[in-house]
Amino acid sequence: MKSGLYSFLFAMWGLIIIGGGIMVVLLGPFSIQQYGDFHWIITSGIKVTIALILVVIWILILSKLKNYIFKKELKF
Amino acid sequence: MIELIIPAIISCILAFFVVYFSTPPLIKILVKKNYTVKDMNKKENIMVARPGGISIILAIVVSEIILYGFFQLNEILAIIITTTAAFLIGYVDDRKVMGGWFKPVTLAIAALPIIFLGAYDSNLTFPLFGDVQIPLLYLGLIIFMIPITGNTINSIDVLNGVASGFMVIASFTLSICLFILQNYEIAIVSLPLGFVSLAFYKYHKIPSKIFPGDSGALTFGAMYGVIAIIGGVEIIAAIALLPAVINSFLFLASVKRVVEHRQIKGKPVEHTDDFKLKATNDKTAPVTLVRLILAGGPLTEKQVGFVIFKLAIFSGILAIITAFMMGVSL
């Protein structure tokens, strides 16, 4: 049981590092310039949308991982 | 360097001893006024004083005001205002049962001084991959961060000494990481949180003489969240907090909605005849970290607490490794 918790912690850590990397690679260089003074708002809006999608994917992966690691314990 | 060491020592001593000396009289006052709650995990009918958040916020405000005298940083003002607001929100919840929306919404409002004081950098830094600039998204992150850290610490305040002991480990980890990243001023500003938690743990550890209450837990969590933002160590702070994050994640994944613990009918944990803690088979009860720990068999309250502390130390080590990884670029 306890090893399962440590594995889950380690997996979450790995997901944060990888998720962060994807965020930097995807969102970092992203920019729209053709909308004059409002380009930063549009760019930020798109970044927010991508970030939210990434968070949802992250939670789904984590949920699958939780069910896999704790499949015995979660039969409450 | 000496100009940093002296304020650090003074604020840490004050943070520790204000809690150390103010908590015993606070316990007496609370008991006299009958501000006590039953310790549910004891066989006997033991009543424990609550809330201890009063001595916690007193120590934080005193030590941070001293630091402000030395550094005059807006970041310190952000800590004082947001943490005090979180304490007041928790205190209202301690005195009066509020709806499930109350804490998240009001804590989000409590985060606004961080934005108004400009005490943040909108770059989000990740290990190995570097920064990402997210000006608008970062404002949202600030608004969400304080309710999340506040409620995350509040959600693990289920056993004697766990919330304060966990905060000792997580906050000192965060301070170490800030020193590793050479963010010395914010590292010093963060130190009082660890010392306040340490002094409070003396009275909160098993058998508890006082409970922090929502006011104490939200104060701990909000200050932790503010330090993460003003220090630019949001990712590291999240990693150091992972066992508590797991607890919230498991809870939300099982109940599938934002709800107060007291609104949940099913009991995740029950007592054996010798008053050890045991996971229930109740399918309507939420899955929590404690329930998962107890899935392997009954344990005493003290043993469960130590398992949580070991998990906190493990995630603290991961956080420190992450801090070192911040200096490495792929």
ipTM for the predicted complex = 0.88
* Closest chain B residue to A25, measured at CA: B129
**Mean per-residue pLDDT, B95-99:** 83
Cβ contact, residue pair A21, B279, below 8 Å: no
**How many other β-carbons are positioned within 10 Å of the β-carbon of residue B273?**
7
Confidence band of B211 (pLDDT split at 50, 70, 90): very high
Of B265 and B61, the structure prediction assigns the larger pLDDT to B61
Residue of A10, A62, A73 lying closest to B249 (CB–CB): A62
3-state DSSP assignment of residue B297:
coil
3-state DSSP assignment of residue B131:
strand
Residue of B134, B246, B296 lying closest to A44 (CB–CB): B134
Rounded Cα distance, B191 and B175, in Å:
6
Rounded Cα distance, B283 and B254, in Å:
10
Cβ contact, residue pair B296, A48, below 8 Å: no
Rounded Cα distance, B186 and B76, in Å:
9
CB B171 within 8 A of CB B190: yes
Which of B136, B141, B177, B283 is the best mutation test for A, with the most CBs of A within 10 A? B136
List CB contacts (< 8 A) between B127 and chain A: 17, 20
3-state DSSP assignment of residue B1:
coil
| B156/chain A closest Cα distance in angstroms | 16
- Residue B219 tokens read as 């104060």
A interface with B, Cβ–Cβ < 8 A, is: 1-2, 5-6, 8-10, 12-13, 16-17, 20-21, 23-25, 27-28, 40-41, 44-45, 47-48, 51, 62-63, 66, 70, 72-74, 76
Can you give the pLDDT at residue A48? 78
Rounded Cα distance, B294 and B314, in Å:
19
> Is 70 exceeded by the pLDDT of residue B330?
no
DSSP class of residue A38 equals G
Cβ contact, residue pair B250, A66, below 8 Å: yes
Cβ contact, residue pair A6, B135, below 8 Å: no
Which of B124, B134, B142, B152 is the best mutation test for A, with the most CBs of A within 10 A? B134
How far CA B93 is from CA of B38, B87, B97, B142, B228, in Å, comes to 17, 10, 6, 22, 25
- Residue B72 tokens read as 């005059």
**Contacts of the segment B301-308: beta carbons below 8 A, 24+ positions apart:** B301/B41, B301/B159, B301/B160, B301/B206, B301/B277, B302/B160, B302/B206, B304/B159, B304/B277, B305/B159, B305/B160, B305/B161, B305/B162, B305/B165, B305/B206, B307/A2, B308/B156, B308/B159, B308/B162, B308/B165, B308/B166, B308/B243
Cβ contact, residue pair A17, B322, below 8 Å: yes
**How many other β-carbons are positioned within 10 Å of the β-carbon of residue B181?**
19
Confidence band of A19 (pLDDT split at 50, 70, 90): confident
Question: How many residues are listed for chain B in this entry?
Answer: 330
- Which residues are bridge partners to B131 per DSSP? B125
Mean pLDDT computed over every residue of chain B: 92
> Is 80 exceeded by the pLDDT of residue B256?
no
Q: Closest by alpha carbon to B61, among B82, B36, B34, B91? A: B82
Which of A17, A41, A46 is the best mutation test for B, with the most CBs of B within 10 A? A17
Q: Cis omega before residue B207 (within 30°)? A: yes
Could you tell me the sign of the dihedral formed by the alpha carbons of B233, B328, B173, B235, in that order?
Answer: positive
> Is 80 exceeded by the pLDDT of residue A1?
no
Confidence band of B268 (pLDDT split at 50, 70, 90): confident
- Residue B138 tokens read as 């970062």
> Is 90 exceeded by the pLDDT of residue B1?
no
Can you give the pLDDT at residue B261? 63
Please tell me the least confidently modeled range out of A3-17, B15-29, B204-218.
A3-17
- Please name the residue that has the structure tokens 């766990």: B162
